[in-house]
Chain A
Amino acid sequence: MTTSIRVNDTLHELSLDSRVTLLDALRDVLGLTGTKKGCDQGACGACTVIVDGQRVLSCLTLAAACEGQHVVTIEGLATGDELHPMQAAFLHCDGFQCGYCTPGQILSAVCAVREVHAGVPSHVTPDVRHTVNSATLSDEEIRERMSGNLCRCAAYPNIVAAVRQVLNERLHI
């Protein structure tokens, strides 16, 4: 079936079997192999991409369901040779070891920072009626908000540091 999807600002008209996931369409059809296939069952977060501004799992998303939507992958994050602040922070803080989960971690972290700036609560927010604030956000909050991205190398402390760095930069990302 035919599906038009905008990926990193480029419109693609794809003719796909209805069974193809967004993850497989990105990797195998469009050649965007930055998005990783980890568990392929919604348990690890390696396949995280941003669809219409929200972080989602591309392994549990059918490509056919993305008609007219805008997908941002790790390949679409930098501006030319200039790294996105979250990419730069992961480099600066050494927020990875093998790197396999890193594209998903970075895209998830970008959205986590946006969500904090929007003031929305998480499971560990002491009172959901209150608006969270990036200046007073605990490490526990960062860990909870990033819990959908597993890192088998356990680079977690440095991932938290990278997210903290971007929160402290107070950039509009």
Chain B
Amino acid sequence: MNAFTFERVTHATDAAAAVAANAGAMFLAGGTTLVDLMKVEVLTPTAVADIRRLGLSSIDVSDDAITVGATVTNSQLAWHPVVRDRYPVLSEAILSGATTQIRNMATVAGNILQRTRCSYFRDVHAACNRRQPGSGCDALDGFNRGHAVLGVSEHCIATHPSDMCVAMIVIDAEIHTLRADGTTRSIPFAKFHHAPGDTPHVEVALAHGELITHVVIPSLPAARRSHYLKVRDRASYEFALASAAVVLDLDGDTIRAARLGLGGIATQPWRAVEAEQILTGRIATDQAFRDAAEIALAGAVARERNHFKIELAKRTIVRAFATARDGNA
């Protein structure tokens, strides 16, 4: 691990200013991504500012929204009774990721900013445009079984690893930030993560030193009938091969509105808007869900070893919607 200075900050504006003033500085929250990647020297900050003492660790519930502080842990959010009641998809998504130890450390902001698990990104001896712009991508013709089929480019096919973000994007959460000059803004989840395109190293819509302060989850009564289904190589403690976050608003057997997010197969948390639209007004049959799944994966581009993910994702979508339809919501 490279040497760095450790900065204890107690005010959010001080944290933003400390990082903004130093191009080599990074925020530290739970450390489950940052400390891990510092050990393998993929990340080499010269300073880290610990943001866990900024008073950003509460969950505030109102009738209209739930406001989640940046350093609320994944466990805190998943276990919150109101989250479980109003947004089962979010609680289920979080609980499907990692382990209790890691969820007790990992924060909401850190989950949003977690880096890909692509093995070439994590290996400083491999070519990776995301880690080292212009160096190439060893995943394109390498061991790419776990890689993305949606949102890919010829420069990067790394999968976004988060489960939580897939649920957040379908419930239209908004990310609120603070900049060093004291100004704030909010960014919809759907506009926060970037597809790799020609610039895989530009991952999110944050400026250097811009601090996530909280996430606002708006009221969405339909989310009481929602579900997260994760398919993976082992039953626990594994990243998704494919996952689906669904919200189903039913009027009897007819779909009033449906929402679909996809994980494990895309370079960013993925919202399948066109697939959602063709479900509106249809009877909630497995065939309707299959039709939506075909549209969701229509633009998929597979490499040598990950072609199976396209059919796997379609079946995951159908089962997730069918479970939400048949559930006790």
How many residues of chain B get a CB closer than 8 Å to chain A's CBs? 38
How many residues of chain A get a CB closer than 8 Å to chain B's CBs? 37
Q: Write the nearest CB–CB distance from B287 to chain A, whole angstroms.
A: 27
Q: Write the nearest CB–CB distance from B137 to chain A, whole angstroms.
A: 23
Confirm or deny: B58 has a beta carbon within 8 angstroms of a beta carbon on chain A: no
Given known contacts A56-B105, A123-B236, is B75 in contact with A62 (CB within 8 Å)?
A: no
- The number of inter-chain residue pairs (CB within 8 angstroms) is 98
Q: Which label, helix, strand, loop or mixed, suits the secondary structure of the B interface?
A: mixed
Beta-carbon contact of A42 and B102 below 8 Å: yes
What does the 1/0 interface line of A6-27 toward B look like (CB < 8 Å)?
0000000000011101000000
Residue from B5, B84, B100 within 8 A of A128 (CB atoms): B84
Residues of A within 8 A of B159 (CB): none
Confirm or deny: B35 has a beta carbon within 8 angstroms of a beta carbon on chain A: yes
Beta-carbon contact of A65 and B75 below 8 Å: no
Residue from B52, B78, B84, B101 within 8 A of A57 (CB atoms): B101
What does the 1/0 interface line of B48-86 toward A look like (CB < 8 Å)?
101010000000000000000000010100110000110
Given known contacts A56-B104, A61-B35, is B3 in contact with A121 (CB within 8 Å)?
A: no
Interface residues of B in 5-38 (CB under 8 A from A): 5-6, 8, 28, 31-32, 35-36
Complex Cα distance A21/B8, Å? 16
The segment out of A82-90, A141-149, A163-171 that lies at the interface is A141-149
Complex Cα distance A17/B39, Å? 14
The segment out of A30-38, A71-79, A107-115 that lies at the interface is A107-115
Beta-carbon contact of A61 and B84 below 8 Å: no
Residues of A within 8 A of B75 (CB): 54
Confirm or deny: A129 has a beta carbon within 8 angstroms of a beta carbon on chain B: yes
Residues of A within 8 A of B78 (CB): 121, 128
Interface residues of A in 99-141 (CB under 8 A from B): 108, 111-112, 115, 120-123, 125, 127-129
Beta-carbon contact of A45 and B99 below 8 Å: yes
List 14 additional A-B contacts (Cβ < 8 Å) besides A62-B31, A62-B35, A111-B100: A21-B35, A55-B100, A56-B104, A60-B36, A61-B35, A64-B6, A65-B6, A65-B28, A65-B31, A122-B95, A123-B95, A125-B95, A144-B235, A147-B236
